[in-house]
């Protein structure tokens, strides 16, 4: 597709994602949904600008826009599943850098749009749309949206946290508007970090993509555990009382085992250690390509209640139609309280295979993925690992990155392979940039 990627339309604000483009997207989406839309946003600096342009497009088609202000992505999804509106738009670049922004759409049931529906929106973007002459839709401020989400989450997770000392890293993001009230209402002893968004620091040195921050705070200050969210609240990384990171794979195993969930959906990036434990406990798993939308629709297809990614993007269908970091954290807390165990105790049987992920910035992801010399080397290393591990190379769906994942039994070997492949790819990029045709520049 020309505009939509794996998670909506994303780009650098005022460069790739302009007001002109947002207006076109809004007008096309308004035509596709043919009804009123709910519009939400995260607090990054460009969100107000993108919101104004997107909403102008929606209104120009004669439909109304219900504005919720800053709420997490899963809050928008939950609203749609209970509200009767035709669809919704979330303005956010999630875990991406602060200069990025994005627009992703949800249907009237709170599900992310399927790829074929995004293609239909793109078709509307390329054609002339008939507009109602002399009139337009209305802006309606949906001020009760935040309260609705808070009450719904508390009602479905009415647990007593018994004064547990919990640290939350809110990443200067959308969870700042809801997480403090939810956790406080459940009787926790709460300490907040990065809880006052100003639009300039979302995900900067904090949040689920920078777990070292909260790991250090938990270790230094004696918290029972911690949770680190991303910019729009659909991811979470947990920390035990020692500050050790507990990622999405570990969280999914704990929830599947202790909540007695018979089948789950994981991705090709999940650690081999997760598969070993799922097999041990007779929990069926389905493996899909990276992307929460791939996870979601496989969950629906297989009637699996739980699914997610190593990154902490976890979906629990009985409560949410998309990843929800807050709900995931509360489910984990429910298990800990019921079992009367610390997080370090309950996760100790999870033995991770050494796994290294390298992210390399590139200009043209498609060109790299066709580089025969690089992938010949990947194939040689895979042959050498011979069932003891694996190498997985993929383009990021939301950023100009190539991700190289190396996994195996021996950490030293894994590091050597990752170092070798990273250096080769950087060499190939430099050669291509210089136009070294003899070396296979494409």
Q: Inform me whether the pLDDT recorded for 433 exceeds 70.
A: no
Tell me which residue has tokens 């920078």.
Answer: 210
Hey, what are 130's tokens? 């008939």
Question: pLDDT band for position 437 (50/70/90)?
Answer: very low
Tell me which residue has tokens 């459940």.
Answer: 186
pLDDT value, residue 186: 96
Give per-residue pLDDT as tens, 131-157: 999 999 999 999 999 999 999 999 999
Q: What percent of the chain has pLDDT over 90?
A: 88
pLDDT value, residue 441: 31
94 classed as catalytic:
yes
* SS3 (DSSP) at 382: helix
| Candidate list 94, 215, 270, 396, residue with the active-site label | 94
Q: For residues 354 and 406, give the distance between their C-alpha atoms in angstroms, rounded to a whole number.
A: 8
CA dihedral 313, 315, 320, 323 (to 10 degrees): 10
Q: For residues 423 and 419, give the distance between their C-alpha atoms in angstroms, rounded to a whole number.
A: 6
Distances (CA, A) of 269 to 162, 228, 232, 405: 36, 20, 22, 8
pLDDT value, residue 439: 35
Distances (CA, A) of 299 to 293, 303, 311, 374, 423: 10, 6, 18, 34, 38
Distances (CA, A) of 211 to 28, 39, 207, 316, 349: 38, 30, 6, 23, 22
Q: What are phi and psi of 183, to 5 degrees?
A: -70, -35
Q: What are phi and psi of 106, to 5 degrees?
A: -125, 150
Whether the predicted model's global pTM rises above the 0.85 cut? yes
Q: What value does the mean pLDDT take over residues 243-258?
A: 98
Contact 104, 406 (CB under 8 A): no
pLDDT value, residue 1: 86
* SS3 (DSSP) at 267: strand
Q: For residues 361 and 39, give the distance between their C-alpha atoms in angstroms, rounded to a whole number.
A: 32
Q: For residues 105 and 7, give the distance between their C-alpha atoms in angstroms, rounded to a whole number.
A: 9
In this structure, of 72-76, 421-425, 429-433, the range with the lowest mean pLDDT score is: 429-433
Contact 103, 8 (CB under 8 A): yes
Question: Sign (positive/negative) of CA torsion 109, 237, 172, 403?
Answer: negative
Give per-residue pLDDT as tens, 327-367: 999 999 999 999 999 999 999 999 999 989 999 999 899 89
Residues 6+ apart with CB under 8 A from 395: 365, 366, 368, 369, 401, 402, 403
Q: What percent of the chain has pLDDT over 70?
A: 98
Q: ∠ CA 355-93-109 to the nearest 5 degrees?
A: 100
Give per-residue pLDDT as tens, 93-128: 999 999 999 999 999 999 999 999 999 999 999 999
Closest by CA position to 10, among listed 256, 232, 330: 232
Question: pLDDT band for position 387 (50/70/90)?
Answer: confident
* Beta pairing partners, 404: 358, 393
How is residue 259 annotated by DSSP?
T
Q: For residues 180 and 329, give the distance between their C-alpha atoms in angstroms, rounded to a whole number.
A: 13
Which domains are seen in the chain, by residue range? Answer: 9-143 (3.40.120.10), 148-346 (3.40.120.10), 355-439 (3.30.310.50)
Q: Inform me whether the pLDDT recorded for 440 exceeds 60.
A: no
Q: What are phi and psi of 391, to 5 degrees?
A: -125, 130
Residues 6+ apart with CB under 8 A from 335: 254, 255, 258, 259, 346
Question: pLDDT band for position 386 (50/70/90)?
Answer: confident
Q: What value does the mean pLDDT take over residues 413-422?
A: 95
Burial class of residue 301 (count of CB atoms within 10 Å of its CB; 0-12, 13-18, 19+): exposed
Contact 372, 383 (CB under 8 A): no
Closest by CA position to 399, among listed 99, 19, 23: 99
């Amino acid at each position: 597709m020309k505009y939509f990627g794996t998670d909506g339309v994303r780009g650098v604000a005022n460069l790739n994602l302009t007001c002109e483009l947002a207006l076109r997207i809004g007008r096309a989406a308004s035509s596709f949904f043919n009804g009123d839309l709910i519009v939400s946003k995260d607090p990054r600096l460009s969100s107000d600008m993108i919101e104004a342009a997107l909403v102008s497009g929606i209104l120009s088609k004669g439909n109304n826009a219900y504005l919720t202000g800053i709420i997490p992505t899963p809050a928008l999804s939950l609203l749609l599943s209970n509200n009767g509106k035709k669809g919704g738009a979330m303005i956010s670049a999630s875990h991406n850098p602060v200069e990025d922004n994005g627009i992703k759409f949800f249907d009237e049931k709170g599900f992310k749009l399927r790829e074929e529906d995004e293609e239909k929106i793109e078709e509307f973007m390329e054609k002339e749309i008939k507009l109602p002459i002399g009139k337009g839709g209305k802006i309606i401020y949906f001020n009760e949206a935040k309260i609705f989400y808070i009450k719904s989450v508390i009602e479905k997770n009415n647990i007593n946290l018994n004064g547990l000392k919990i640290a939350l890293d809110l990443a200067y993001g959308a969870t700042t508007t809801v997480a403090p009230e939810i956790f406080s209402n459940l009787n926790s002893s709460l300490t907040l970090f990065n809880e006052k968004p100003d639009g300039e620091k979302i995900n900067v040195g904090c949040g689920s993509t920078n777990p070292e921050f909260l790991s250090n705070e938990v270790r230094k200050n004696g918290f029972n555990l911690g949770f680190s969210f991303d910019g729009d609240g659909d991811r979470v990384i947990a920390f035990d009382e020692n500050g050790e990171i507990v990622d999405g794979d570990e969280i999914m195993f704990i929830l599947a085992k202790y909540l007695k969930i018979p089948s789950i959906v994981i991705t090709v990036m999940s650690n081999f250690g997760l598969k070993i434990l799922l097999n041990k406990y007779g929990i069926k798993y389905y493996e899909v390509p990276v992307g929460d939308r791939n996870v979601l629709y496989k969950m629906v297809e297989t009637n699996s209640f739980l699914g997610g990614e190593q990154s902490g993007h976890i979906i629990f269908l009985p409560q949410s139609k998309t990843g929800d970091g807050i709900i995931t954290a509360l489910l984990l807390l429910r298990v800990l309280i019921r079992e009367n165990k610390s997080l370090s105790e309950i996760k100790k049987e999870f033995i991770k295979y050494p796994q290294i992920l390298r992210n390399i910035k590139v200009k043209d992801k498609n060109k790299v993925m066709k580089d025969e010399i690089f992938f010949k080397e990947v194939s040689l290393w895979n042959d050498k690992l011979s069932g003891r591990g694996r190498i997985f190379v993929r383009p990021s769906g939301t950023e100009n990155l190539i991700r190289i994942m190396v996994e195996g039994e021996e950490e030293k070997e894994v590091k050597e392979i990752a170092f070798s492949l990273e250096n080769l790819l950087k060499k190939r990029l430099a050669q291509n940039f210089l136009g070294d045709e003899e070396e296979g520049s494409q």
